[in-house]
Structure 1
Amino acid sequence: MRFLLGYSSKPFILALVICVTYTFSYLLKTMYVSLFHNHVKVKGNPLFQDLVIAGLNRVFEDIKYDNDREKEINQTDDNFWGIPPELQLYSNRTVTKRRTQIQINIKRKYFLRDFRVDDVNCLELINRTREEVKRAKSIKRARLKDADYIEMTKNCPTFIKDRGYIMHYLTKEEESFPIAYSILMYQNVEQFERLLRAIYRPQNIYCIHVDFKSRETIHNAVSGIASCFDNVFLLRTRVSVKLGGMSVLEPDLKCMNELWSRSKTWKYFINLTGQEFPLRTNYELVKILKAYNGSNDVAATIQKDTERCDKPRAVAPPHGIHVTRGFVHVAVNRDFVDFTLHDERAQHILTWMNRSCYVPDEAYFSTLNHNPHFGVKGSFKGHPETSRNRRKPYIARFKNVVESEVYGWKCHGREINGLCVFGTADVRMLSVRKELFAHRFHLDYQPVAYECMEELIYNRTRDEFMGTLAFNASFYSTLGFVLGQG
């Protein structure tokens, strides 16, 4: 028998045993469940029967967990997007060129060691190992307080060094392609600061808005952080933001205006909240935005749009526009910002939406981008409906709107108002998403998810800088809103 099967057959025998075991378990479970559910009396110890059923349920829970994991991976990998091998994002490579002294110095200053999360194996979370996910969920972390930041930022050089900010542009390509950001925040200074650290580069520029309702210690702490950087500033005017109103849009418009006035070199504008985190390194963001070739990344739907702009006494939309709505969060070129701020038609539309639309923040940027007769650079000239595939996706942000056909995925964290707050079991999905940023995280809920994303982005930044990891942005140049721009 051993001669016929050979030693190489051991994996086959093991697989056969497993298959037979699962088949027997399934038949046994079916028998017991059938008997129990049909109220047939079964002789024997009831406790033993319960244990058998519990054990079989655990077996099938494990099988379902593995199946769900594989299904989720398949839905978010390159096959789902229809990406051919030549357009895959990452590839390892061997460094053949001798490193310059500047590269050596930067490595010594910023990338001397791997970033590793304490007490957790993030690679195991990415692989969604059941035991590691379960263990990571229970981990709690001590949080920095507002007063800690107020004290730390009294010595800016020490703060910048101790908190691990990268104060170099890293590559010439990144230096020549600065990005403008607005960040709207109202609570949790530490989460805001860690977001800023993840996206900070000296060539970029950052506008911060602290909600008027935020306590004064939050404003003071954020003000201290901003004072440590020449390219980070706070809006002087603070808005009391209320969901569903113009106040959601107002801080972004004010930041746009300040960013426009303060710098003439940035290429794209991205608006964030303090509860988000990047899925791409700064180098990758630059590569992607260049692949956009001037197009704007803005979500849109025309379904039920009139229901959002039919307030009492509402008048007809101005300038022959077709109203679309999407998300307020965008990635748009500098000319789009110029049009938004300075074109009279854009101002007329803003005034009309404020009077006529129930949720103007969802409609304003989306409508400006999907009415190509305005001639805005990068606007979309095709059918505006955002899709789940490459026809016209929304890449600026990954928002898991659980019940949505377009934006909904399985949520392994917790759901608040229909939106997924990411947890540790979501790290696998986040690690392979194609979007630029993910929304949303709460540091007081399964904080390891946030920490593992920090580890991933930091180590990718290092590997790309050192030349051991190559990033290919060609996929993004094939997206529908890039090919169909006006």
Structure 2
Amino acid sequence: MAVIGSAVHVTKSKLFIDRQTDGLTTDNIVKIEGIDLYFFVSKQEYVNEQNRKDTDVYDQQRRLKLFDRGPLFEVSFSPLYKNVLPVKNFSIWTFRSSQRVTNVDCSQLFEQNPKEIEKVHKMNVSESASVCLKSKDCENFITRGGYIMHPLSEEEADFSIAFSILVYKSPEQFEILLRAIYRPQNVYCVHVDNKTTGNDFKEFQCIIRCFPNVFLATDRKDVKWGKIGVLTAELSCMKDLLSFKKWKYFINLTGQEFPLRTNYELVQILKIYNGSNDGEGTVKRANKDRWEKASKPPHGIRPVKGSVHVTLNRKFVEYVIDSRVAKDFLQWVNKTDTPDETYFASLIHNPQLGIPGSFKGELETDFGVRKPFLSRFKNWHDAPNALPCHGKYVRSICIFGIEDLPLLARRPEFFANKFHFDYQRQALLCMNELIYNRTRDEYAQRLDFDTQYYKSLKHVKNIV
């Protein structure tokens, strides 16, 4: 079985393929000699960016197409990475546990090998043992799961991230997510839907009790799509998380999501963000009828449509919890439809409020060009920039399957939404293998993460 992340070999400044792959010809091989190359859609075409003199917007469009679709026979299956020669020896103790998926060659799925795809489609999925049974001995559970229980770098140790995770079912899927994002320097608030009871709730408790920096939200809400409970559940965790003093950024998740970035990469990106917030925002595509039954918004706030999924600096979170303006606006959105898609988006994109990290530039995220939204990759069926979904659609959003893996590996966002554990779970498990291997190789300093794309983002520069 091939190990994910070993597809290329680097000598000096040349990058080339060092193994045979089905369908790969000399026409598909790209050599890099000190220039930046960008791939377009599914073709292995490239341009010399040093000679391109087009506008900023056009360049940004081209950069985004780098991540759109199709397999790339590249290190770690993404052009965001390059292999480097290791510069240090390291203890392997941290990565003793193998994350390889049983009876599946994930590297072949990332390369869209038809035989492996067909094999996986025919596989039956067996039921797993109770999470409470597996976590009865916490020390053994942590060791066998391959949890990372020490900071992997000084830089990560000094940059704590706070997470909220909203869950209502599938404790086993939640455990896979937690394993991928867990670090001892971070802090995690888990909000279990108030409707979740019995064995499912007990299983969530069994996982959480094994970690000192993972806890249940003190105020559980009844969460229903389109209702205020989605938002108040987030606020419940935000309030709890503020009792922890060291974290610098907040990221909200659900149990059906999975990281596209390692913790090291998140830290690199958030340091580049330097206080800027990441959230979706549009006025042109807003469903303004959602706001019609409410009165005029308080404090001169212009309503903006966006996503509930955000990446926020600590001062922004403090403002949301403590500010009279934020509390008044919460009361206003409670009178509207789908308030969670208005609240954070509006606070981020009303710079006159003076909230730290708010965006003061052109906010439209229609095609991810003017202001890309990176907290989450969602493939909506009716979005202007929709991509092919090789899984299935549920309420217009793509539930990722195994044939979506090449696309997921190449996306620049932080997390992907969404996965269902009872549908082609190998997609989730192979993403876990990929993130684990990227983490290992970055720790060994044999994999380099290119942050240039994130440095170019307009919302990093145009903030309050």
Counterpart selection for 1:319 from 296, 299, 303 = 299
CA distance in 2, matches of 1:193, 1:144: 12
Deviations 1:201-253, CA, capped at 9 Å, x for gaps: 00000000111111321111111211111100001322111110101111110
Find the counterpart in structure 1 of residue 110 from structure 2: 126
Alignment of 1:213-224 (within 5 A): 213-224=195-206
Amino acid at match of 2:347: L
Structure 2 residues not aligned, in runs of 5+: 1-39, 47-59, 67-77
Alignment of 1:39-438 (within 5 A): 70=42, 79-81=62-64, 89-97=80-88, 99=89, 103-104=90-91, 107=92, 109-112=93-96, 115-145=99-129, 148-261=130-243, 263-303=244-284, 304-311=286-293, 314-355=294-335, 357-406=336-385, 408-438=386-416
CA distance in 2, matches of 1:131, 1:152: 34
SS of aligned partner of 2:42: helix
On the 8 A contact 1:140/1:447 being kept in 2, the answer is no
1:385 Cα deviation after fit: 1.2
On the 8 A contact 2:186/2:213 being kept in 1, the answer is yes
CA distance in 2, matches of 1:427, 1:121: 12
Q: Does 1:463 align with 2:434?
A: no
On the 8 A contact 1:336/1:376 being kept in 2, the answer is yes
Q: Does the C-alpha gap of structure 1 residues 326 and 272 become closer, same or farther in structure 2, counting only changes over 3 Å?
A: same
CA distance in 2, matches of 1:287, 1:254: 28
SS of aligned partner of 1:70: coil
CA distance in 2, matches of 1:132, 1:173: 39
Structure 1 residues not aligned, in runs of 5+: 1-67
SS of aligned partner of 1:462: helix
Amino acid at match of 2:143: K
Deviations 1:406-465, CA, capped at 9 Å, x for gaps: 4x2110000000000000100000010000000000111111111110110000000000
CA distance in 2, matches of 1:198, 1:389: 27
CA distance in 1, matches of 2:352, 2:287: 19
Q: Does 1:441 align with 2:422?
A: no
On the 8 A contact 2:188/2:215 being kept in 1, the answer is yes
Larger helix proportion, structure 1 or 2?
1
1:179 Cα deviation after fit: 0.4
On the 8 A contact 2:282/2:366 being kept in 1, the answer is no
Amino acid at match of 2:105: N
Amino acid at match of 2:42: E
Deviations 1:291-323, CA, capped at 9 Å, x for gaps: 112111100111334211112xx2111111110
CA distance in 1, matches of 2:115, 2:128: 29
CA distance in 1, matches of 2:45, 2:177: 26
On the 8 A contact 1:72/1:429 being kept in 2, the answer is no
On the 8 A contact 1:305/1:324 being kept in 2, the answer is no
SS of aligned partner of 1:404: coil
Find the counterpart in structure 1 of residue 16 from structure 2: none
CA distance in 1, matches of 2:449, 2:104: 27
Q: Does the C-alpha gap of structure 1 residues 180 and 264 become closer, same or farther in structure 2, counting only changes over 3 Å?
A: same
1:471 Cα deviation after fit: 1.2
On the 8 A contact 1:395/1:435 being kept in 2, the answer is yes
CA distance in 2, matches of 1:387, 1:268: 26
CA distance in 2, matches of 1:244, 1:219: 23
Amino acid at match of 1:471: F
Aligned length: 401
Amino acid at match of 1:70: S
CA distance in 1, matches of 2:61, 2:430: 22
Amino acid at match of 2:428: Y
Q: Does the C-alpha gap of structure 1 residues 193 and 72 become closer, same or farther in structure 2, counting only changes over 3 Å?
A: farther
On the 8 A contact 2:96/2:146 being kept in 1, the answer is no
CA distance in 2, matches of 1:394, 1:485: 15
Identity %: 45
Of structures 1 and 2, the larger Rg is shown by 1
CA distance in 1, matches of 2:327, 2:87: 54
SS of aligned partner of 1:345: helix
1:389 Cα deviation after fit: 3.5
TM-score by length of 2: 0.82
On the 8 A contact 1:390/1:480 being kept in 2, the answer is no
1:484 Cα deviation after fit: 1.7
